[in-house]
Amino acid sequence: FGRSVHYFDSLESTQKAAYQLAYDGAPEGTLVIAEEQTSGRGRLGRAWHSASGKGIWMSIIVRPDLPPQKAPQFTLITAVAVARAIEEVTEITPEIKWPNDLLIKGKKVVGILTELQAEADKISSLIIGIGMNVNHASDDFPVEVKKIASSLFIEKGEKISRAALIQSFLKNFEKYYSIYISDGFLPIRILWESYATSIGKQIKATTVTGEIVGVAVGISNEGVLKIEDEKGVIHNIYSADIEQF
């Protein structure tokens, strides 16, 4: 990973650029990275604030030989690889909030967005976008973001090398990707659950079909969040916004 790197000073979105590159046949491991995004994309159609030179805004192309239902697992593999990279470089252990947020002291530091291109019943490519707030001071965030977001600089109290983080992430992503291919999702799931903030806690999941309140009991082997409601019924959550109590 990262052997073919497309680097830009400024882009609308690395995700958009990588999506096009993947469509045009770019190989697995292709990395698109930008100093600044003018139109960064978050999950559920939201905007992603991507100030120049402060963070890591990148997207990678992965081409596993797997069916499309496996795509969500890659968000979790990525989350674990980013968590490890943050630990290695800053000695801070982040928490993972399902499916894709990394938090430090309850504030969001990393977001992950996975998009899929599939043909028939096979993944042709996954485009995994990672946005990491690295060297932002509190005033570098827009007011509405300031309340919920933080950066590694704010949490650690010193500037952090973006190059070291990228290197460590790529090394860890390769490692967990190959463990996943050889041994399946279980080892990733165990690791993921060790970082997870919501497991065992009361949460509310807002999905397109409504709200589910209950205790997060874990994730399935598919990477799906399992919530047990007050009647003891287990709900499988594929996509939702999670609020924790």
Residue list, annotated binding site = 37, 41-43, 108
Is 187 an interacting residue with respect to ligand BTN (CB under 6 A)?
Answer: no
Count of Cβ atoms closer than 10 Å to residue 47 Cβ: 13
Report the alpha-carbon distance of residue 198 to residue 178 in Å, rounded.
Answer: 27
74 binds ligand BTN (CB under 6 A): no
Of 39-47, 88-96, 133-141, 142-150, which segment contacts ligand BTN by CB under 6 A? 39-47
Task: For residue 68, state whether it binds ligand BTN (rule: CB under 6 A).
Answer: no
> Strands across the sheet with 4-11, in order?
4-11, 30-37, 55-62, 122-133, 107-119, 101-104, 95-97
Q: Does 191 bind ligand BTN (CB under 6 A)?
A: no
Where is the binding site for biotin, in residues? 37, 41-43, 108
Least distance in angstroms from the C-beta of 202 to ligand BTN: 22
Q: How far is the CB of 121 from ligand BTN (least distance, A)?
A: 27
Which one of 22, 51, 58, 219 is in contact with ligand BTN (CB under 6 A)?
58
Among candidate residues 26, 66, 51, 92, the one with its CA nearest the CA of residue 77 = 66
Computed over its alpha carbons, how large is the radius of gyration of the chain? 17
How many C-beta atoms lie closer than 10 Å to residue 189's C-beta?
22
By CB under 6 A, is residue 156 in contact with ligand BTN?
A: no
* Site residues (CB under 6 A) for ligand BTN, limited to 96-155: 100-101, 111-113, 129-131
The CB-of-78 to ligand BTN minimum distance in angstroms stands at 11
| Residue among 43, 92, 41 at smallest CA distance from 242 | 43
Write out the residues near ligand BTN by the rule CB under 6 A: 13-15, 37, 40-43, 46, 48, 50, 57-59, 100-101, 111-113, 129-131
